[in-house]
Amino acid sequence: MERSQAQALDAQDELGKYRNQFVITDPNTCYLDGNSLGRLPHATVKAISDFLTQEWGPKVVTGWEDWIDEAQRVGDLIGRSALGAGAGQVLACDTTSVNLYQLALAAIKARPGRKTIIIDAANFPTDRYIMQGIAKSLGLNLITIDNEDGAISENELITPELLKTYLSDDVALVSLQVVQYRSGARQDIEALTELVKSYGALMLWDAAHAVGSVVLDFDKNGVDLAVGCTYKYGNSGPGAPAWLYVSKDIQRELQVPIQGWFAQRDQFAMGDNFEKIEGIRGFQIASPSLMGLRCVKSAFEMIEEAGISRIEGKAGQGTQMMIELFDKWLSPLGFTLNTPRGAGNRGGHISLCHPEASKIAIALRKYANVIPDYRAPNSIRVAISPLVNSYVEIYDGFQRIRDLVSTRQYEKIDDGQVRVT
């Protein structure tokens, strides 16, 4: 892999035109952290400005006539552009954590008598903490599959054969990530969902690291429940509303624990008792953040136009290039790769492990104008955000990683210099 090959890939890249649609203040920065926070689309700047001047300003409270169903409208957009979900199954609301809690509890209550929840050790901290809290408060048995040290699984991947060893008719809920936040391993959502369902349990996917980078095909894959964010490959901004997906097949069966007024059958009758409305609206708690939703709308319209299959294709090609550069430059410098080599088994990021990873990640930002992130205990994550990154940006970023590590510049960094890694 030479730089000229990266240039050739850029020249043929059907998605290359989208890069100019984002705010990029320093073209010399190699921004390889779009899996953590995507860049700002120019369209979003206009959308927010228009919302303030043409909607909130002049309409004030009368604006709610239009805004009241916005979480459903934007949910449908996320569903068709990125999730492979038909209308009426996705809501854009709250945070991934709140949505996970809501759906997990609803699922557990829908399987009365079953006392076991399954999660994996490599799952994102918020997911593990929430399941620990639910298990403790309801007196349930929480099984945490120990997939971190490589003994029972490679790159944190959960195969159906592995999951099967933990399943029984006591399991109410299994919750896993579609793409592991640290290793980048991508699970077989169709096979795992089918397996869990065959035991009569419900499967709840966290797709935060997958949405906007790979094809999810939730409807086709028989997914029951899923949550995710919009601020990573979704480019919708820090703290933008997250989303939840509940398949039409099980919407009637499920009741979320927070019975807010937006889920009430006749919301403005202000009645005495809660009565859940039919459909996905029955899963909405409260007033949506309109400004947040406008950020999601402009960013996911871009994903819809670009096409999620083309986005997935570029994520596969970009991560393949990263792996080739890892083999050539970084493996000889003491790095190891904690990501599957098969393009179908990973998402948009790869995980480079090194004993000095935390210092290297800080040094890259400080001295090399390369922005990756660090995840304890020893991973540097680097991502391709297909609408934003060029192949040359990735090539140059890897060259700078090589140069910084081979000259040991990172040794100048004191640990504990940054709070957010």
Ligand X SMILES: Cc1ncc(COP(=O)(O)O)c(C=O)c1O
Find the shortest distance in angstroms from Cβ 325 to ligand X: 25
CB 314 within 8 A of CB 96: no
Q: Cα separation of 417 and 52, whole Å?
A: 38
Q: Is there binding between residue 229 and ligand X (CB under 6 A)?
A: yes
Copy the structure tokens of residue 141: 């048995």
User: 256: which DSSP letter?
Assistant: -
Q: Is there binding between residue 120 and ligand X (CB under 6 A)?
A: no
Q: Is there binding between residue 312 and ligand X (CB under 6 A)?
A: no
Environment class of 267 (CB within 10 Å of its CB; exposed 0-12, middle 13-18, buried 19+): middle
Among 89, 96, 319, 390, binds ligand X (CB under 6 A): 96
Q: Is there binding between residue 242 and ligand X (CB under 6 A)?
A: yes
- Region of 93 (left: φ > 0; alpha: ψ -120 to 50; beta: rest) is beta
Find the shortest distance in angstroms from Cβ 82 to ligand X: 15
Picking from 358, 376, 368, the residue whose alpha carbon sits closest to that of residue 407 is 368
Looking at the Cβ atoms of 33 and 127, the one nearer to ligand X is 127
Q: Is there binding between residue 124 and ligand X (CB under 6 A)?
A: yes
Q: Is there binding between residue 177 and ligand X (CB under 6 A)?
A: yes
Which residues touch 360 (CB under 8 Å, ≥6 apart)? 354, 380, 401, 404, 405, 410
**Count of Cβ atoms closer than 10 Å to residue 69 Cβ:** 15
Residue with token string 């994903």 = 303
Q: Is there binding between residue 97 and ligand X (CB under 6 A)?
A: yes
Using CB under 6 A as the binding criterion, the count of chain residues that bind ligand X stands at 13
Residue whose CB is nearest to ligand X in the complex, by number: 97
Looking at the Cβ atoms of 1 and 225, the one nearer to ligand X is 225
Copy the structure tokens of residue 165: 């060893």
Q: Is there binding between residue 385 and ligand X (CB under 6 A)?
A: no
Residue with token string 């890694």 = 421
Q: Is there binding between residue 379 and ligand X (CB under 6 A)?
A: no
Q: Which of residues 315-344 bind ligand X (CB under 6 A)?
A: none
Q: Which stretch binds ligand X (CB under 6 A): 121-129, 161-169, 339-347, 358-366?
A: 121-129
Residue 377, preceding peptide bond in cis (omega within 30° of 0): yes
Q: Is there binding between residue 354 and ligand X (CB under 6 A)?
A: no
**Relative orientation angle of helices 290-306 and 42-50, to the nearest 10 degrees:** 140
Q: Is there binding between residue 391 and ligand X (CB under 6 A)?
A: no
Q: Cα separation of 196 and 164, whole Å?
A: 8
Among 206, 312, 373, 393, binds ligand X (CB under 6 A): 206
3-state secondary structure (DSSP) of residue 276? strand
Q: Which stretch binds ligand X (CB under 6 A): 51-59, 72-80, 120-128, 376-384?
A: 120-128
Find the shortest distance in angstroms from Cβ 372 to ligand X: 15
Q: Is there binding between residue 398 and ligand X (CB under 6 A)?
A: no
Q: Which stretch binds ligand X (CB under 6 A): 38-46, 205-213, 288-296, 401-409?
A: 205-213
Q: Please report, as ranges, the residues that interact with ligand X according to CB under 6 A.
A: 95-97, 124, 126-127, 177, 181, 206, 208-209, 229, 242
